[in-house]
Amino acid sequence: MNKYVSTRNKNISVSASAAVLSGQASDGGLFVPEDIENLKLDYHEVISSGDFKEMAKVIWNHFFDDYGRDVIAELVERSYTGKFSSDKLTPLVKVGDDYVLELYHGPTSAFKDVALSALPNLLTKARDMNEVTDTILILTATSGDTGSAAMAGFSGVPGTGIVVFYPEGGTSETQRLQMVTDAGSNTAACAIRGNFDDAQNGVKKIFREIDHPSEGVSLSSANSINIGRLVPQIVYYYSAYKQLLDMGEIADGDKVDFVVPTGNFGDIMAGYFAYRMGLPIRQLICASNKNDVLTEFLNSGHYNRKREFFKTTSPSMDILISSNLERLLYYVCGEENTAKYMKQLEAQGEYTISSSELAEIKGIFTGLCASDDEGRAAIRKTFEEEHYLMDTHTSIAWSCLGKYKKKDGVPKVVLSTASPYKFCSSVLEALGLELTGSDKTDMEACYEYTKAPIPKGLAGIWERPVLHSDVIDPSDMKQYVIDKSAQK
C-alpha cells in the first residue's frame, strides 16, 4: 500500500483514501506519496492500456491503491463518461511546428474539469471506505473558474453537497452565469457583497469556527491541494505522449517538453509526477504571467511573495502563493527543509533553497514569464498565421514557448487550460476587434470572425434559468452555511 505523508512531517501518515478525505494534513502540510521511487512504472503499461479512461484506471490504481481495481474502474467511468465533448477527452492538436494539448473540453470549458470531475467520486468513495456517515459539504470561494467546475463536478454526487461563494460583480458575466444556472440538487452559489478576498476569508473563518454546521454534516474543501485533484491530472501527460506516438510525430522513447501555464503549481506538478514515474519528459517549462514569483524562484532559488500583485488577463494564474510547490520541495529538499521553508514563508514572506536543491530542480524545470501584451500578440499571431485560436492563459504559455525555443528537435507541447470563449472579451481585444458591450455578443462576434466552434456548455448559458440568486454580506456567510447544511 502507498503511504501518504505530510510534506512537513513523515510521521503523519495515512492511506490514499484517508488523504483524499482529509484534503490537508493536520500540521498544515500537503499529502504526498512518501517515496516517489516506489511510483516508477513502465510507461508502456499506461499508454498501451487503451484510451484516456483506460490510462486513468492504471494511474489511479497506481496511486490510490486502497480503493481496489474494480472500484477505481467504476469511479473513472462515472467521472468521465459522457462529460467531455471530445472522445479523446484531452485532444492534441498540431499548431505550426508545435503541439497544443487541449484540456478544456469538459463541462465548464476549463482544465479544472479534468480534476473536478474526478475528485467528488474519489471523495464520496473515501467517505464510505473510512466509515464516515456524515454528508460532506464542500465550501469554496472562487473568483470564477473553480466555482463552476466544482459545482459541475459535485452535482448529483451522493453524500456530498457544495456551496460556492463568489464576489458580486467580481467575475465575468459568463462565469457568473455558469454558476447561477447550475441545476444540481446539491449545489448552491451565493454572491458576496465584497471582493474575492472577502469571500476567501469568510470561508477560512467558517472552517476555523465550525466542523459540523448541522447534525450529520461535515465541512470539506475542493481546493487544488487535495491529492485527489492532482493525480487525475497526471493522465493527460500520458495521453499527450500516446497521441504524439499515434500521430507518428515521435518514436517510442523520444523525449518531449511540456509548457504549462501555471498558477497554483497543480497542473505542472502532475507533470513532475509523470516524469518521476518514467514518462520520457525532458523539460517542464513553468509559464507565469506578470505575477512572476515562480519564474524568479526557478531561476534563483529565492521565493518571495512580498511583491506587488497584478491583475492580468489570465486571472487564473494571478497567484502569489503557489501551494502545490510544497510538494516539489518535499521530494527535492526533504520534509525537514520543507517545513522550515514553509515556516519562513509564513513568517517572513520568503525563503531561499540551497544551491544543490536549486540545481536538482533546474534539471527538469525551466521558469519563464510573459506579459499581457506578449500574450495578446501570441493570440493574434497564431490565429493569423496558423488559424488556431487560444485563450489568454494558453497564450502566456505560447509566449514562453517562443522564449524557450531552441531548434533542437525536441517536440514541445503547450497545455491549453481554457476555451478561448471563456475569456472571450480579452481574446476579442487581442484579435484587434471592438468589444461589443456584453459577453454574449462578444462570443457571437468572436465566432463570426474566427469560426472556432463555441463549446456547447457556454453557448446555452444565456437562455438557462437562474437558479441561485442569493446575495449576502460577508458577515452572514456562516449562518448561510448553517442554513444550507440543515437542508441537506
Residues of this chain that bind ligand PLP (CB under 6 A): 110-112, 145, 224, 261-267, 316-317, 393, 417-418
Q: Rounded to a whole number, what is the distance in angstroms from the first to the last CA of the chain? A: 35
What Cα–Cα distance (Å) separates residue 240 from each residue in 246, 418, 484?
10, 17, 42
Using DSSP bridges, classify how beta strands 4-6 and 9-14 pair: parallel, antiparallel or unpaired.
Answer: antiparallel
Residues contacting 269, CB < 8 A, separation 6+: 230, 324, 325, 327, 328
> How far apart, in whole angstroms, are the C-alpha atoms of residue 61 and residue 83?
21
Shortest approach of ligand PLP to residue 318 CB, angstroms?
10
Contact 114, 90 (CB under 8 A): yes
Tell me the Ramachandran region of residue 102: left when phi exceeds 0, alpha when psi lies from -120 to 50, beta otherwise: beta
Contact 358, 378 (CB under 8 A): no
Catalytic annotation, pick one of 57, 88, 112, 290 = 112
Contact 277, 90 (CB under 8 A): no
Shortest approach of ligand PLP to residue 49 CB, angstroms?
25
Residues pairing with 92 in the sheet: 101
Pick 284 or 333: Cβ nearer ligand PLP: 284
Pick 163 or 284: Cβ nearer ligand PLP: 284
Shortest approach of ligand PLP to residue 160 CB, angstroms?
21
Residues in the chain: 488
Shortest approach of ligand PLP to residue 419 CB, angstroms?
9
Shortest approach of ligand PLP to residue 110 CB, angstroms?
5
Pick 265 or 297: Cβ nearer ligand PLP: 265
Pick 91 or 261: Cβ nearer ligand PLP: 261
Residues contacting 213, CB < 8 A, separation 6+: 137, 206, 219, 481, 482, 484, 485, 486
Q: Which of 292, 254, 252, 258 is CA-nearest to residue 272?
A: 258
Pick 290 or 393: Cβ nearer ligand PLP: 393
φ, ψ at 153 (rounded to 5°) = -70, -40
Cell 464576489 belongs to 167
Q: Using only C-alpha atoms, what is the Rg of the chain?
A: 21
Pick 232 or 263: Cβ nearer ligand PLP: 263
Shortest approach of ligand PLP to residue 310 CB, angstroms?
15
**Other CB atoms within 10 Å distance of the CB of residue 425:** 21
Shortest approach of ligand PLP to residue 365 CB, angstroms?
13
Pick 275 or 480: Cβ nearer ligand PLP: 275
Shortest approach of ligand PLP to residue 298 CB, angstroms?
13
**Other CB atoms within 10 Å distance of the CB of residue 133:** 9
- 406 is a catalytic site residue: no
Pick 145 or 429: Cβ nearer ligand PLP: 145
Cell digits for 357? 536543491
> How far apart, in whole angstroms, are the C-alpha atoms of residue 17 and residue 228?
9
| SS3 label, residue 153 | helix
Q: State the DSSP code for 284.
A: E
Residues with active-site annotation: 112
